[in-house]
Amino acid sequence: MEKKDLGKLGFQSLCCHAGQHADPQTGAHNTPIYQTSTFAFKNVQDGADKFAGEKEGYIYTRLGNPTQSALEEKMAALEGAEAAIATASGMSAISASVMAVAYAGDHILAHDCLYGCTHSLMEEILPRYGIEVTFADLSDLDNVDEYLQDNTKLVYLETPSNPTLNLVDIEEISKKAHAAGAKVIVDNTFMTPYLQNPLALGADMVVHSATKYIGGHGDAIAGIIAGKEEMLAEIRMTTLKDFGGIISPFNAWLLLRGLKTLPIRVDKHTENAKEVAEFLEAHDKVERVFYPGLESHPQHDLAKKQASGFGSMISFELKGGYDAGEKMMNNVNLATLAVSLGDVDTLIQHPASMTHAPVPREERLAAGITDGLVRISIGIEDVEDIIADLDNSLSVLADVEEDESLATV
């Protein structure tokens, strides 16, 4: 059957229809799960043509799969990209894209506040292969000028950053990086293509931990890379194929299912987050709230400029440091004490003891990830129930005195 002509559909319509084509064999409306490792050839010439790239088709699921292709087509449409690649995890997407751009002798300029495993990749793994990495606060554009080098091949950033909700100006950094001959990769996990489009702002590639909002239900591990066809074709046939970080057909199918409700979910997530952030900002046990949707956020105007919404990730600094964070985590009830984010239900965690524990404390503090910082992914529950749970868990901190040594640096 022929593919649908999608024309200029709106975002929700693309979520429902992009990449979805009735199965040519059975007419199945939803994309089937092609749970197979390999594909049969009609004859020797058919196989030879496919291996040579002269004929479209499937060879082996590590090289591509129809369920995966449907997901990639949908994600490319949502990101406004020429192409997309689905991978086994967010870290697979990050490592495959970064190592396709930077080689031995090259330099990467990275934002100084990144997801813990991304930071470890940059600090510990890449230098083993002769790739130099400099971490800097890229929210200060002067640092971009200062730390770009003649051999800088990549500027890598998250915005908002994990977990401090610090913002980076994608458009301005892209201009500076391109003038220096470097590419820009943006981790768009927190915002999704529904709220923020880094490619439209000048970035070269976008990566996602699709485990989060793209899947949306906490039941699949996956990653996404989106960008120009030429660059992604190189990734597909080198760092993805040879390192082997491929997505399973079943997980690709789960993401296809989750994406159909992405805007509906994100709207509710964001609506709840605004109310929760306002509640936390007024609470006497909370030192400071980091949420771009609050006017008190120092980059509130930038958030409005480069995104169509503020997302549902909130971080807040407790009075009382590490002990307060630990005590609060042990007293939540509705919220689930768990890492990850973007699930339909509320997840809460303590970065100093969990996601960012691998980061040396000095570096963690320098990036604003203090011992009393709490990160919460706001779900789609009744917001009154979320607030009541947080209020109850904060009430146990009455006897915790603030530790001045752990104050925000």
Cα gap 149→157, rounded to integer Å: 17
The contacts of residue 69 (CB under 8 Å, 6+ apart) are: 19
Q: What is the SS3 assignment for 278?
A: helix
List C-alpha distances in Å: 280 to 317, 319, 333, 341. 10, 12, 17, 19
* Residue 194, SS3 per DSSP: helix
Q: List active site positions.
A: 62, 115, 187, 212
DSSP state of 178: H
Alpha-carbon gap, residue 250 to 339, rounded angstroms: 23
**What whole-number distance in Å separates Cα of residue 263 and Cα of residue 269?**
10
CA angle (200 as vertex; 116, 227 as ends), nearest 5: 65
Token pair for residue 53?
Answer: 């790239």
| Nearest Cα residue to 176 out of 194, 149, 198, 197 | 149
Tell me, what amino acid is at 152? T
Alpha-carbon Rg for the chain in angstroms: 22
